[in-house]
Amino acid sequence: MLDPLPFITYAFVMSITPGPNNVMLTASGATFGFRRTLPHMLGVVFGFVVQLLAVCAGLSALFNRWPALQTALSWVGAAYLVYLGARMLRSGDASAQGKSRPVRFHEAAMFQFLNPKAWVMSITCATLFLPQQLGLVLRSAYMAGVMEGVGVPCMAAWALFGSSLKNFLAAPRPRMVFNVVMAVSLAATAIVMVMK
């Protein structure tokens, strides 16, 4: 008998804790508001589901055969997080404010393939929670449904938290402090992910 509770618990813990997506969604909510952050959030959902289903279909076997591939992806993802952190630091400048825009759907979707936390989640899900007793379609729907049924409200909470700070962050000093905290969080996430 299929017991989804352990999977739901894992999905909640991994989805609600800070990581690259949640930090970026918080920053986007604070800068652009919740509504303009929705394409970013939907891109995360789409990209992660594609990644999760690919891993469940056997992509994780590539990492088992060539571990250096996963290491390389982790380093590329970490470098991208540092780049995003640097961009976030600049977003407080008056000259950069007019040029900034929310992360687009396709950018957020593609980022999942560089996101070390997303790879850890996908591989763990496929290893521990993939119900082999279900057919391919039901198995895929179950995996995606649980992860995103839990993940979307968690991501929305982070984006709403960011958007609730928007008025407070209108002043330059609080905005600068917020940007520094978010940039350092992204850099710390990058370091933690590559040091594992």
**95 has pLDDT over 60:** no
What pLDDT shows up at residue 196?
A: 63
pLDDT tens for 50-90 read 999 999 888 767 767 777 877 787 788 778 778 877 877 77
pTM: 0.81
Range of the domain at 83: 5-195
Q: What is the count of structural domains for the chain? A: 1
Measured from the Cβ of residue 93, the count of other Cβ atoms closer than 10 Å reads 13
d(CA 77, CA 69): 12
Q: What are phi and psi of 136, to 5 degrees?
A: -55, -45
Closest CA to 186 of 118, 96, 84, 114: 84
Name which of 13-22, 44-53, 163-172 the model is least confident about: 163-172
